[in-house]
Amino acid sequence: DLKKAGLLIFANKQDVKECMTVAEISQFLKLTSIKDHQWHIQACCALTGEGLCQGLEWMMSRLKIR
């Protein structure tokens, strides 16, 4: 059932000065090794809502593909 599943990661706390970047998170989680699923890291800030819509848009675009 998960053959076509995508992975969306919200990288919260992007407003914090020394937070991990999207690239650092990708390396830390070894996401480049995932070849059979699409994945996306969306930088966001839950306090302001910045980036949340973009992540949900990515998820919705994945649903259209299925």
pLDDT in tens, the chain (66 residues): 677 788 999 999 998 999 999 999 999 999 999 888 899 999 999 999 999 999 999 999 988 765
Q: Is the pTM of this model over 0.95?
A: no
Decide if 55 contacts 40 (C-beta within 8 A): yes
- Grouping H, G, I as helix, E, B as strand and the rest as coil, residue 21 is coil
4 is in an annotated binding site: no
Q: How far apart are CA 21 and CA 54, in angstroms?
A: 17
pLDDT of 66 reads 58
Q: Which residues pair with 11 in a beta bridge?
A: 43
pLDDT of 10 reads 97
27 is in an annotated binding site: no
1 is in an annotated binding site: no
- Spatial CB neighbours of 37, under 8 Å, sequence gap ≥ 6: 5, 6, 7
42 is in an annotated binding site: no
Decide if 45 contacts 51 (C-beta within 8 A): yes
